[in-house]
Amino acid sequence: MPQPIEKKRKFPHQKRAHKTIDEILEATAQLLERGGKAGFTTNHIARRAGYSIGTLYRYFPHKLAIMREMADSELRQQEAAARTLLEGTGALDADELIRGVVRSILQRFSRSRARKSILSALIDDAELVARTNETHRRIMHMFHTRLVEIDPARFRRPTEISCLALSGALLGSIRSTLFYEPQSLKDPEYERELVAMVTHFVSAREPT
C-alpha cells in the first residue's frame, strides 16, 4: 500500500528544519567563541547563519531559547560520549578509566569559550539546571558502576546520593575553574588532582 502523500512531504521538511537549527546553533557558537555575550544579538546570529531574522524566529523566539537548545544539545552529546567511552573500556584498568573520564570532561570544557557564556546566561534557569544535574548524575552512575564491575573489592557501590555528590564535586570544580582560572583546565597537575579526588571518592571505605 503506498504511503500517504503527507508523509512523503514531511521528511524533507523535517530534514531542512534540523539543518536550519543546526546552522543557527553553529553560528551562535562561533559568535560566542569570538566575542562572548558582548554585542550578541539574534540579528548577528541570523546574519552569521545566512538566514533572515524571520526564519530564525520561526525556530527560536529569542536568543535565550537558542542558548537553552545549545545547552540541551551539549547534555545529549555528553551522555552519548560517556556511553561510547564506557562501552569501549573493556581493556582498561580502573585507574586508566578514571583518568580517561576526567580527561574527557576536561577537554569538553577547555576547548570552548561558548560554554562559559552559556553557563553564565542560564545559571538561573531552574529547569535546565535540573536536567543538567540529572544527566550528570546518570553519567556518574554509569562510570561508577563500571568501576565496580572492574574491581568490586576496591570500589564501593554507587547510590543516587553518592553519584549526585560525585557529579557536584567533579563538575562543580571544573565549572568554577572555567570561570576563575580557565588556564588551569589544560594544566596536567590540575588533571592529576581531579583524578586523585575522584579515585578517593569512589574507593571503598575502610570499616570504622
Digit-coded pLDDT (tens) for 54-63: 999 999 999 8
The domain locations on the chain are 1-61, 64-208
Task: State the amino acid at position 191 in one-letter form.
Answer: E
Task: State the amino acid at position 116 in one-letter form.
Answer: K
Q: Which fold has domain 64-208?
A: Tetracycline Repressor; domain 2 (1.10.357)
Which band of pLDDT confidence, cut at 50, 70 and 90, is reported for residue 4? very low
- Kindly list the distances between the CA atom of residue 35 and the CA atoms of 29, 32, 70, 125, 148, in Å, as whole numbers in the listed order: 10, 5, 17, 23, 44
Question: Could you tell me the three cell numbers for 133?
Answer: 544535574
Per-residue model confidence (pLDDT) at position 14: 79
Task: State the amino acid at position 107 in one-letter form.
Answer: Q
pLDDT tens digit sequence for 6-24: 333 333 477 888 899 999 9
Question: Could you tell me the three cell numbers for 129?
Answer: 539546571
Residue 53, Cβ neighbours under 10 Å: how many? 12
Out of 4-18, 79-93, 160-174, 175-189, least confident range: 4-18
The answer to whether 1-61 and 64-208 have equal CATH topology is no
Mean pLDDT score across all residues of the chain: 85
Q: Per the CATH hierarchy, to which homologous superfamily does domain 1-61 belong?
A: Homeodomain-like (1.10.10.60)
